[in-house]
Structure 1
């Protein structure tokens, strides 16, 4: 057995074998995969093998699409039949709201080139007469996917990997990981049978690997403990049952009827597919428990849990309603096995936090569907340094070790499981494990009607609604159109445009970078000029491929002392990249100290034409009338001021594009400052404002948002941000950015859409002649222009003011026109207003 390799893959399920295969295919000729038992002995062996393309995530849709196409060509390469039955996937809707969900998904699918077909209830009945359809609104149908045999496709990928030189070693368990400064030393133990259990023997070897990938499935918590990290990948029980033959189904097939597609009755929380003249019913029911929170016992191998039929009775009866002919079919077999989940249902794919050359591929609730694409895109990240699509939404660091715990992961994973078929509204807010992280002003904001969103564990006000229950207002009434919150967000946005509003931005990520090497490092690390002392600048950290890794507002407090503000959802994601980059350049630039101070500083953003008047009433200054003028406090500058008794690091900038300041304050003084500002704002009609209105306002200014317009699949130049790129200096990723040129370009669009809906930022864009040319990355409503607004990427020649396009919403094409950059106040006169 070889003891020194380029890459070691830990885990022999579908995901692990795909990664090993694709690493070899990408050119690495020294790859080893180890499996503690037999290939497919984890969740792979009892997976139902479905391949649903349906997914609201842009990255995950690409991953699933690749898998479906990849599996179809495996037999030609390996000679092994992967058992792919391309029968299609029929996703039915019992309500118009469910159809609204499908229409939003369909527009997203088109951005990735995923084909689909709409079917009416009559068309469903005509094709598949055993399905009851009179209570359906319709369905979306994918004819390109279906189901596959999990064991067969895994073995086919394993054979393909071996053919490409991958070494696959079974009955070896990883028991320790040690980074020696250049390589990983992985201690392996030979596994042996003992009393029916699989346990490590005294036989051990150490494998030295430049890279390690963990795809340990249900054993993810054990892996996390060995690595000294946290990851919210914990299994949940998943049940499906296999029924005896249905005589009507047998007759239908004998008379020439084609095999039914995978039938998904989302409103009944279940899926059904044919199995040898009978049916398989799989469910996503409530109260399915998380298991193995602290590790998988040695006694559990390719085992199952007792069936809990009482939990799935409702779904079973719904199946009989949908396929009446199955009522007399008996139960042939049953499965209740562990399937790994994460709190948002997306896997953890990418570099492990704080570790070098350690890659995670964990938490796959749809592992068979995602395995092929995960191997492909993760291999790109490892071999080439970056994937061709932005994988940030799957990055393991989206759950920070500062607040993510075992209890949180277990309870949120249970919620995610029973939400698989819940309507996934874009304004969805799931309640489990909340509130968790709250800023001091949380209770005050709640008392004033705040409805909160979940951002990196923080509770952040989305909008402020009515307090009186007599208003008959349902804060949980979500929608794929304009929800009940919409008018409140409109009023909040108008308050900032016309008067003054106060936004809680405490969730912003905040880091201090200082030390003798700080200036040289940040000059290399970011693409814009560094600000002078007391000034600020917007800048970007790039990947080695020249794409956007992170957006920062940099405040320079001293010669080698900087305060960096970035997106609230990405604290550990930003911190990890910042620290690893600084560590790599210490020898070049000198000592660099990095501190995550996110939880030390609260942030209120005050904005609007009257914001200066509010602050003048509370600023402690010898001359309050001039303290906030352009002469003493110019735009894009930072000053330490006192508001009443609260010391504040004030930054004259506003994400809303209005006159305003960010007020960074000691978090323990937040309630004092909140009360002070609220009282001072009363004479000026100051309104509390949530994140949804702020998101609309920033689109009116064409302010790009990280995770939307800014990401690892586009450069800052493609985001059309030349004013923030200093090509006169050398910076990380510069050469790659220049070489890429402009493949697509960001722009802002005003949209003449439906009267009851706005885009969400997931929609496909077409030219007037029907050619697909791009996609939206943000969407919403503009109070300034009284129409829908969006931002997105199109072919460069179309990102020109006046270009007429079409946007797909509710399965219709609506007129859109490319507008100028910053359509609201393009000269920035409002934000620079003196007083």
Structure 2
């Protein structure tokens, strides 16, 4: 076996074999090690379903690549992967479920995934064994189906071997050591002993420039060996196999195989299996397993079946397929399937480590394996993938995440596989967890909380004395019960004043002799003068947008960086690694501190914001400390609000006169109460994240994770005014070389009366798909729907008429000027 390779893949399931195959295909010398046998983890007992359905743009691309790849493997390797392209029928019992499918349809269209909609009558005509009298309809993918997990894994393994990959079984990783240029991975040979797999004591060191872990159920052991946190913990998943169904057998004499059936509202999938059925439920109460370790005695093993736990799902299968009522149970499976708190796998660079890549937490591992190998190989070989992989990045969870949190959220995620995934969905497990000081004050005002990065954050403020029939928890793919309250909040910021708790913002302190030179090359805009702020972007080496920062210059070599609240660990890792590289190349010393939890933030905005602060600072003179002369727009001042020291920043994400008030976290309740002691007389209203999201679109403010990401350059995002081409900065030449493939635009939309775009919809011109929305909502300034997104450059001119696809219908939209509300920023710059 090899002892020196370019890349070492740890884990021989479907995901690991795909990664090895794609790395070898890209020309890297690769080795794969497996502690037991290939497919001996969750792969062997997976049901092998290949659903193209996914509400995530990135994951949809991953699933589509997998389905396309698996159809080609036999021609390449000579091994039949056992792909049954029978299609996938996803049924709906409610209109809300059909609304979900209609929103998905736009995601699928932008990713090039073919699909059809069927009526109950059409379902019954094509598949008479299915009961349809209580269905609203269905979504049908004729191009997917199911596959034999072991066969497809072996086919990818053979394809990898054909390209020179060394695949070695019965080797367990016992240690990782980074030398500064390569990993030394200590492997132990495993031997059979009494039916168990145990270490032999024989150790081998393998040297690798890059390591990828795809260790499945063993992710917690991997995390300990690497000294990091990986929130991938398995949850029990049961499925049962019935005896042959005579009516199915009779129907199959003259008909092709039944599609995979999904009754999402009943929380199960069903497919054919040798004349019978496989039922896979996603029931409540499935427990997390192996929170710390997989026992040595657990190999290709299963857990005892708990039929009582899945009784409701079993009975609903009989309801949906009446012929199954008389057939007996033939076999059963209850095995561990890895989950993450949000259901997306962890794919990308490991936090704090160099050339260590994670591919963990795959609840749909067979579906995602092919695409994960393809796009992860692009990340490793080229530096970036052709799609934005940030939504799968392992660093979307910070060190605040604990084993208990991951286990409980993963159980919830399992239970929610078939729960309606509304865009305004908020899951309740492990909440509240991280709370800002005024949390209880906000709840008393009617705050309805969401969470970002574990932080509780008001989404909107509902009626405190709500009528008995008002449902704060109602969710919809149309306008939920929260909608009129968000409208009122947005209107308050436009007309009077609003206060937003933005404590979840990520905050970093960057200082030291090398700080200025480092940040000047790290970001694309000019650095601000002392006491001033700038909006700027850190680019990837491919020239795309890696992170958006508001940079406040506190002193000559001291900077306060503010970025998106969801990406704290993600941003810190990139900052620290980039600073380490800078210092290693001879740059001056830099200290970087994550100070997110040390500073709270209230965003106070609206025409009356200055009047509110003036009462508190007791300075209402014409030349007030809050006026433009002493406190201009895009500047920062340290002020005192009562007994609270505040780092006040003259900026507002809502596009009105306003300040971000950054305060030492322990003063949060005091400052909240102080502002509210004078605010009501000036029309102050508490405002949540949903209204803020609408308001920033009226100003065409791009949001990271929506308009900004690693699949578009700042120039494509229309941010030319924040790019200083007179200086050298990271990713500059790659950005220029990329050119303009698409352009970010703001659109005003004449949409349906009960639905706003969510930022997933297709943009159409003359019947052709020409782009997609990345954000959407309602504009109080224009009294119609608003959205932002990317279109072909030739269609980005102001006045261009497009169509937006909402609920399967095309609605008129027009490209408007950037910052359609107050395009000259007169309201933001207003003097005292």
- Both structures adopt the same fold (TM-score exceeding 0.5): yes
* 1:136 aligned residue: 135
How is 1:167-178 mapped onto 2 (pairs within 5 angstroms)?
Answer: 167-178=166-177
* 1:698 aligned residue: 696
2:15 is the alignment partner of 1:24: no
The answer (yes or no) to whether the contact 1:269–1:315 under 8 Å persists in 2 is yes
CA distance in 1, matches of 2:353, 2:676: 45
2:6 is the alignment partner of 1:6: yes
How is 1:275-294 mapped onto 2 (pairs within 5 angstroms)?
Answer: 275-294=273-292
| Match for residue 812 of structure 1 among 809, 813, 832 | 809
The answer (yes or no) to whether the contact 2:7–2:31 under 8 Å persists in 1 is yes
* 1:603 aligned residue: 601
Q: Deviations over 1:730-750 (max 9, x none)?
A: 000000000000000000000
| Match for residue 370 of structure 1 among 348, 368, 377 | 368
Secondary structure at the counterpart of residue 425 of structure 2:
coil
Distance change (3 Å), C-alpha of 1:325 and 1:627: same
* 1:441 aligned residue: 438
CA distance in 1, matches of 2:86, 2:787: 37
2:74 is the alignment partner of 1:68: no
Q: Deviations over 1:516-554 (max 9, x none)?
A: 000000000000000000000000000000000000000
CA distance in 1, matches of 2:664, 2:623: 25
* 1:428 aligned residue: 425
* 1:205 aligned residue: 204
CA distance in 2, matches of 1:314, 1:13: 32
2:223 is the alignment partner of 1:228: no
Matched residues, number: 831
Secondary structure at the counterpart of residue 135 of structure 1:
coil
2:71 is the alignment partner of 1:55: no
The answer (yes or no) to whether the contact 1:616–1:625 under 8 Å persists in 2 is no
Secondary structure at the counterpart of residue 158 of structure 1:
helix
Secondary structure at the counterpart of residue 748 of structure 1:
strand
Q: Deviations over 1:565-624 (max 9, x none)?
A: 000000000000000000001033210100000000000000000000000001166968
Secondary structure at the counterpart of residue 191 of structure 2:
strand
* 1:252 aligned residue: 251
* 1:774 aligned residue: 771
| Match for residue 755 of structure 2 among 751, 754, 757 | 757
Secondary structure at the counterpart of residue 740 of structure 2:
coil
How is 1:588-667 mapped onto 2 (pairs within 5 angstroms)?
Answer: 588-619=586-617, 626-667=624-665
The answer (yes or no) to whether the contact 2:608–2:682 under 8 Å persists in 1 is yes
Q: 1:193 Cα shift?
A: 1.0
CA distance in 1, matches of 2:159, 2:453: 40
CA distance in 2, matches of 1:141, 1:827: 49
Secondary structure at the counterpart of residue 47 of structure 2:
coil
CA distance in 2, matches of 1:668, 1:680: 21
| Match for residue 325 of structure 1 among 323, 339, 347 | 323
Secondary structure at the counterpart of residue 326 of structure 2:
coil
CA distance in 1, matches of 2:506, 2:468: 37
CA distance in 2, matches of 1:623, 1:192: 83
CA distance in 2, matches of 1:661, 1:758: 29
* 2:94 aligned residue: 95
CA distance in 1, matches of 2:214, 2:802: 43
Q: 1:625 Cα shift?
A: 5.5
Q: Deviations over 1:766-817 (max 9, x none)?
A: 00x2010000000000000000000000001101110001111111111111
The answer (yes or no) to whether the contact 2:623–2:629 under 8 Å persists in 1 is no
CA distance in 1, matches of 2:40, 2:623: 73
Secondary structure at the counterpart of residue 618 of structure 1:
helix
* 2:347 aligned residue: 349
Q: Deviations over 1:477-509 (max 9, x none)?
A: 000000000000000000000000000000000
CA distance in 2, matches of 1:705, 1:471: 37
Q: 1:472 Cα shift?
A: 2.8
2:226 is the alignment partner of 1:191: no
* 1:261 aligned residue: 259
How is 1:489-638 mapped onto 2 (pairs within 5 angstroms)?
Answer: 489-586=486-583, 587-619=585-617, 626-638=624-636
Q: 1:374 Cα shift?
A: 0.1
The answer (yes or no) to whether the contact 2:639–2:648 under 8 Å persists in 1 is yes
CA distance in 2, matches of 1:590, 1:205: 40
Q: 1:823 Cα shift?
A: 0.2
Secondary structure at the counterpart of residue 466 of structure 1:
coil
CA distance in 2, matches of 1:475, 1:188: 54
The answer (yes or no) to whether the contact 2:614–2:620 under 8 Å persists in 1 is no
Q: 1:189 Cα shift?
A: 0.3
The answer (yes or no) to whether the contact 1:449–1:466 under 8 Å persists in 2 is yes
Distance change (3 Å), C-alpha of 1:471 and 1:633: farther
The answer (yes or no) to whether the contact 1:620–1:642 under 8 Å persists in 2 is no
Distance change (3 Å), C-alpha of 1:646 and 1:620: farther
CA distance in 1, matches of 2:533, 2:507: 14
CA distance in 1, matches of 2:620, 2:350: 51
CA distance in 2, matches of 1:439, 1:216: 37
CA distance in 2, matches of 1:439, 1:224: 30
CA distance in 2, matches of 1:471, 1:495: 26
Secondary structure at the counterpart of residue 316 of structure 1:
helix
The answer (yes or no) to whether the contact 1:616–1:624 under 8 Å persists in 2 is no
CA distance in 1, matches of 2:743, 2:148: 42
CA distance in 2, matches of 1:659, 1:778: 24
CA distance in 2, matches of 1:96, 1:170: 50
CA distance in 2, matches of 1:370, 1:666: 44
Q: Deviations over 1:260-296 (max 9, x none)?
A: 1000000110000001110000000000000000010
Q: 1:470 Cα shift?
A: 3.0
* 1:730 aligned residue: 728
Q: Gaps spanning 5+ residues in structure 2: where?
A: none
2:180 is the alignment partner of 1:152: no
The answer (yes or no) to whether the contact 1:620–1:643 under 8 Å persists in 2 is no
The answer (yes or no) to whether the contact 2:188–2:200 under 8 Å persists in 1 is yes
Secondary structure at the counterpart of residue 617 of structure 1:
helix
CA distance in 1, matches of 2:499, 2:620: 25
Moved over 3 A (4+): 620-625
Secondary structure at the counterpart of residue 40 of structure 2:
coil
How is 1:674-689 mapped onto 2 (pairs within 5 angstroms)?
Answer: 674-689=672-687
Q: 1:146 Cα shift?
A: 0.2
The answer (yes or no) to whether the contact 2:499–2:602 under 8 Å persists in 1 is yes
Q: Deviations over 1:305-356 (max 9, x none)?
A: 0000001100000000111011111101000000000011000000000000
TM-score (norm 2): 0.99
Q: 1:181 Cα shift?
A: 1.0
* 2:112 aligned residue: 113
Secondary structure at the counterpart of residue 24 of structure 2:
helix
| Match for residue 463 of structure 2 among 461, 466, 473 | 466
The answer (yes or no) to whether the contact 1:621–1:642 under 8 Å persists in 2 is no
The answer (yes or no) to whether the contact 1:620–1:644 under 8 Å persists in 2 is no
CA distance in 1, matches of 2:45, 2:676: 58
Q: 1:2 Cα shift?
A: 1.3
CA distance in 2, matches of 1:507, 1:742: 33
| Match for residue 476 of structure 1 among 435, 449, 473 | 473
TM-score (norm 1): 0.99
Secondary structure at the counterpart of residue 49 of structure 2:
coil
2:801 is the alignment partner of 1:799: no
